[in-house]
Structure 1
Amino acid sequence: MVFIAFVIGFIMAFSIGANDVANSMSTAVGARAIAVRQAVTIAAVLEFLGAVMFGSHVATTITKGIVKVEFMNDPKVVLAGALAALLGSSVWVLLATVWGMPVSTTHSIVGGMAGFGIASAGFHAIKWEKMISIVISWVLSPIAGWLLAYALFKIISYTILRRVHPASAMKKAIPVIVFATFFIVCLLFGLKTLKVSFDRSLTWSVIIAIIASTFGVILLHRLKPNSDEYEYVESVFKRLQIMTSCYVSFSHGANDVANAVGPLALVYWIISHGNVAQEVHIPIWLLALGGLGISVGALSLGQQVMKTVGEEITQLNNSRGFCIDFSAASTVLLASVLGMPVSTTHVVVGSVVGVGMARGLELVNVGVLKNILISWFATVPVSALASAGFYLLIVRFI
């Protein structure tokens, strides 16, 4: 049973790596900042390091707050349910990945948990107010990313790209851009990954951003513009974009490894202790297993969804890619501070659309966007149905 549980957990981690790697590296690939093979390799290494170094060692709210606590007391039911949720969500995420569609793995595991809850105890076992908040996040996440990316690209376009001498405008803007980038990245890392208090995260973020801005100005001013000033501007954004993409990949490994190993840790606890706990400790070797699964998934199938997000929605270059990464990180940060549930996948796609629409609606591939929206709305119900089926099958053999 332990071996089967580990295999299922690895499959879930694999599916997360295969699909969610697009959140971090798709814009860098679409903008030609790095090659596809480089992107999946970098993502695989950073996802693993993030999972092992900063992955949460305590899995809380393993059921994502979806199934009511009073229906989570029977070890047999919880064991079958956790395995079914992992299998159901894995099946859907892998299908979406083969289709090339970016879906929320968090929403998928939520659907998996809801499916087993309904199959085991009926509709009254589900916290529907929590489900409603998740549905609202489907709408809020892409809209927030879209608005911020649209506004940011318009600002950069008017202040830098459309100037008579864009290279000179870029040099003047470098301190502000570098400061803002490092500030957002450090504050988000402190709050969401390290779980440090807001005041402390804010202080360190300002200090690091000032230092980074100072060194950034020195280093980037050494980058001499050639006859093509736009090429100089894009080369600056290219360096910033690669950095933000690497950060997103590292933090994803730290934050989302729990989607795979959280339910797995619960299964391991039940098998070892024979009872159910609302909080369980995740050993580092289990985080490593999840990190390895994410890395293998990124290396194997990561380019499928990466191509959809980075190339097929709208055409990207480094300045547009930077706007997407910066907007996505800022939106997730704001949501974390306000305690709002958002999907990083939905935010990134919304940001890509925002940058595309800032240049003109005709430059957005509506057909691809329609398919993505269909996959989003199918995520929870399909994962739930698959999980319910797996639960009814597994519970007979436990």
Structure 2
Amino acid sequence: MDIYDLFFYLSLGAGFLMAFNLGANDVANSMASAVGARAITVRQAVFIAGILNFVGAVVLGSHVTATISKGIINPAAITDPKLLMIGMFAALLAAGVWVLIATLTSLPVSSTHSIVGAITGFGLVAGGPSVVNWLKMGGIVLSWIISPFFAATIAYLVFTHIRKFILYKRRFVRQVRRWAPFWVALTVILIALSFLYKTPVGKSLNLHWSHSLALAVSLSVLTYLVTRSFVSRMILDEEEGAEGVELVFRKMQVGTSCYVALSQGANDVANAIGPVAAIYLIAKEHQLLAKADVPLSMLILGGVGIAIGISVLGHKVMATVGEKITTLTNTRGFAVDFGAASTVLVASNLGLPVSTTHAAVGGVVGVGLARGFHAVDFRVLLRIVAYWVATVPIAALTSIVFFVLLKWLCYS
């Protein structure tokens, strides 16, 4: 066994660690608002998210992934393939360790930003400042502001509308029969467009934007008609009051949370498997190309890691996002999911590097602020933001330490 084979097998373990942390931290956000609003229990959330993320990663996940995450460095500037392989392994290990630390302290961080920071760290040492795409890094820094701000704004507006036109009306059961089908139909448009533009399977269809929009609108109209009948049967008595309203939005919230979990499995598995694919390609070809074919076995490894991660440690981040920032109900939780999903969809199609984690937290803050500043625990929020800001530099420094040690061991 040569050094290339050794690092490939080690990278499988590091990739599994990263996937585990992805499930425990990032993916837990998909179910946090549903758990916080008591739409489902933690055990149900773990079961649902574990299955949907595994399916998303293995069935919908891309078999071709960018080997250098987010194009943050130029691999051509590092001519020694062994050095590049060591660096990718150090980055994968460093990112995994940082996300694990954040998870154990129950704070949500972005796995995407962790791996980007780690790759930047070894890139600086291996190739110098010129090897780093600083424009891309600037976009990542901006995303710390962009994604939570837009998600908070959308969630604020959605919940304000629900409160004004449903909860504050005298006959709000009649109002929920009128407005719930509208919000479900709007959510279906969001989900359909997200599937077509965000998931690898949807992108492979290569539909023209007009066809995609027509398909999404057609599904939403059909959904609107079905939901009107369903809501009328669900709430039979005007005396059910606010509980009847929350019951309707509870069903809607579980549906949106399930979609987010499925989508995260399809899209975020590349954060764990991308660097492994890079090491696999270097070990096999002794060079690194821009894209790498990912064997199904690697996607399965990532899917299993994500599922186990959310099962073992997912409850920690769920509790922070779903319960400690502000008190959530089903109407508020639906607004959170809608704000986060729409932010990620719009921003990703505009080419902005956003994090689902940041969007989810922003959505929770938005619905909290709709009830006033007193409704948000800013101490918890400040701790979360501090971890966001620290993610890139800490992952970079940890990656540098691992890279220097591994380089000394391999070249001495």
TM range, smaller chain: over 0.9
1:325 corresponds to which residue? 337
Contact 2:67-2:277 at 8 Å conserved across structures = no
Counterpart selection for 1:204 from 211, 215, 228? 215
Q: Secondary structure at the match of 2:130?
A: helix
In structure 2, what is the Cα distance between the partners aligned to 1:70 and 1:184?
A: 39
- In the alignment, structure 1 segments of 5+ residues that lack a partner are none
Q: TM-score, normalised by structure 2?
A: 0.94
CA-CA distance at 1:122 after TM superposition: 2.2
CA-CA distance at 1:53 after TM superposition: 0.6
CA-CA distance at 1:121 after TM superposition: 2.0
CA-CA distance at 1:216 after TM superposition: 1.6
CA-CA distance at 1:175 after TM superposition: 2.5
Matches within 5 A, 1:96-107: 96-107=102-113
Which digits, 9 at most, give the CA deviation of each residue in 1:287-342, with x for residues without a partner? 11101101110101000001000000000010000000011111111112322221
Contact 1:225-1:232 at 8 Å conserved across structures = no
Q: Secondary structure at the match of 1:64?
A: helix
2:3 corresponds to which residue? none
Matches within 5 A, 1:210-221: 210-221=221-232
Contact 1:327-1:351 at 8 Å conserved across structures = yes
Matches within 5 A, 1:6-17: 6-17=12-23
CA-CA distance at 1:4 after TM superposition: 1.2
1:269 aligns with 2:281: yes
Q: Secondary structure at the match of 1:296?
A: helix
1:258 corresponds to which residue? 270
Counterpart selection for 1:182 from 184, 188, 206? 188
1:70 aligns with 2:76: yes
- In the alignment, structure 2 segments of 5+ residues that lack a partner are 1-5
Contact 1:73-1:276 at 8 Å conserved across structures = no
CA RMSD for the aligned pairs? 1.2
Aligned residues, how many?
398
2:66 corresponds to which residue? 60
In structure 1, what is the Cα distance between the partners aligned to 2:68 and 2:62?
A: 12
Matches within 5 A, 1:125-274: 125-193=131-199, 194-195=202-203, 196-197=206-207, 198-226=209-237, 227-274=239-286
Q: Secondary structure at the match of 1:216?
A: helix
Which digits, 9 at most, give the CA deviation of each residue in 1:100-147, with x for residues without a partner? 111011000000100110121222221211111110111111111111
Contact 2:67-2:278 at 8 Å conserved across structures = no
Q: Secondary structure at the match of 2:71?
A: coil
Contact 1:152-1:323 at 8 Å conserved across structures = yes
Residues 274 and 70 (structure 1 numbering): CA distance in 2 closer, same or farther, change over 3 Å?
closer
Contact 1:111-1:383 at 8 Å conserved across structures = yes
What letter matches 2:330 in structure 1? Answer: N
CA-CA distance at 1:239 after TM superposition: 0.4
In structure 1, what is the Cα distance between the partners aligned to 2:69 and 2:178?
A: 49
CA-CA distance at 1:174 after TM superposition: 2.5
1:340 corresponds to which residue? 352
In structure 2, what is the Cα distance between the partners aligned to 1:123 and 1:268?
A: 26
Contact 1:179-1:209 at 8 Å conserved across structures = yes
Contact 1:240-1:322 at 8 Å conserved across structures = yes
In structure 2, what is the Cα distance between the partners aligned to 1:83 and 1:292?
A: 20
In structure 2, what is the Cα distance between the partners aligned to 1:285 and 1:191?
A: 25
Q: Secondary structure at the match of 1:153?
A: helix
Contact 1:167-1:225 at 8 Å conserved across structures = no
Q: Secondary structure at the match of 1:103?
A: coil
CA-CA distance at 1:5 after TM superposition: 1.4
In structure 2, what is the Cα distance between the partners aligned to 1:108 and 1:18?
A: 14
1:31 corresponds to which residue? 37
Contact 1:88-1:112 at 8 Å conserved across structures = yes
What letter matches 1:159 in structure 2? Answer: F
Q: Secondary structure at the match of 1:280?
A: strand
In structure 2, what is the Cα distance between the partners aligned to 1:234 and 1:175?
A: 14
Contact 2:343-2:359 at 8 Å conserved across structures = yes
Sequence identity percentage: 47
1:382 aligns with 2:388: no
In structure 2, what is the Cα distance between the partners aligned to 1:395 and 1:202?
A: 51
Q: Secondary structure at the match of 2:85?
A: helix
Residues 73 and 206 (structure 1 numbering): CA distance in 2 closer, same or farther, change over 3 Å?
farther
Which digits, 9 at most, give the CA deviation of each residue in 1:23-58, with x for residues without a partner? 210000000000001101111110000000111111
In structure 2, what is the Cα distance between the partners aligned to 1:225 and 1:328?
A: 32
Contact 2:17-2:96 at 8 Å conserved across structures = yes
Contact 1:18-1:299 at 8 Å conserved across structures = yes
Higher mean C-alpha deviation, range 158-167 or range 196-205: 196-205
Contact 1:142-1:346 at 8 Å conserved across structures = yes
Contact 1:66-1:127 at 8 Å conserved across structures = yes
CA-CA distance at 1:61 after TM superposition: 5.4
1:278 corresponds to which residue? 290
Which digits, 9 at most, give the CA deviation of each residue in 1:329-369, with x for residues without a partner? 11111112322221111111011000000011101001100
CA-CA distance at 1:81 after TM superposition: 1.1
Q: Secondary structure at the match of 1:59?
A: strand
Contact 1:146-1:351 at 8 Å conserved across structures = yes
Higher mean C-alpha deviation, range 274-283 or range 86-95: 274-283
Which digits, 9 at most, give the CA deviation of each residue in 1:70-121, with x for residues without a partner? 3244211211111111111111100000111110110000001001101212
What letter matches 2:235 in structure 1? Answer: K
CA-CA distance at 1:218 after TM superposition: 1.6
CA-CA distance at 1:160 after TM superposition: 0.5
